[in-house]
Amino acid sequence: MEKFVASAALGCVGAGGVIRGANGNWICGFAVNLGKGQILEAELRGLYFGLHLACDKGISNLLTEMDAAVVVSLVQQVGTLSCHPLAALVQSCCVLMRHIGNCHLAHVYREMNVAADRMANWSFNLDLRVSYLDEGPAWVSSSLENDFLGVVRPRLICTS
């Protein structure tokens, strides 16, 4: 299972993700500082870097969970996006998904994706590049376990 998320702080964007085994264990992860940019592109680049990492690791059975419902929708509508400014990036993600083979993309709420969110936030401490990690940082282990166990977290909802 793979979880990706992007984050924005003061106009800067970054992305991060975790690839977990079936029992929730860390397989590998990444964080990328993308500099200034738009959150939608950061979410798509996060998906791209995560799928690229999965391909590099030879993973052939992958459930990808993201907290960006718009990205999930764009990937599902790839055939109708020829005029979209990010169409090439969406298509690149789809090519990687086909290369993986059994790859599914699903939306989850950020509260179920805390480990990936922490990786994305950590990206702001990095230079403008992607960092791949074979070992999980100690500060993400409890979030990884809680995500796997489905620990309930509060979610604020506007009701205006």
Q: Assign residue 73 the CATH number of its domain.
A: 3.30.420.10
What is the reported pLDDT for 7?
Answer: 62
Structural domain includes residue 23: yes
8 Å CB contact between 119 and 28: no
24 sits in the region (left: phi over 0; alpha: psi -120 to 50; else beta) called left
Structural domain includes residue 155: no
Token code pair at residue 64: 């990808």
Structural domain includes residue 95: yes
Condensed to tens digits (0 to 9), the pLDDT of residues 27-38 reads 999 999 999 999
Structural domain includes residue 104: yes
**How many Å apart are CA 40 and CA 66, to the nearest integer?**
12
The confidence band for 82, taking pLDDT boundaries of 50, 70 and 90, is confident
Quote the pTM value: 0.87
Q: To the nearest whole percent, how much of the chain has pLDDT over 90?
A: 63
What is the reported pLDDT for 23?
Answer: 87
Question: Could you give the 3-state DSSP secondary structure of residue 4?
Answer: strand
Condensed to tens digits (0 to 9), the pLDDT of residues 108-130 reads 887 788 888 999 999 999 999 99
Structural domain includes residue 158: no
- Total domain count for the chain? 1
For 109, which DSSP code?
Answer: -
| Domain range for 53 | 2-149
Positive/negative CA dihedral, 71, 72, 75, 76: negative
More confident residue, 97 or 6: 97
Structural domain includes residue 109: yes
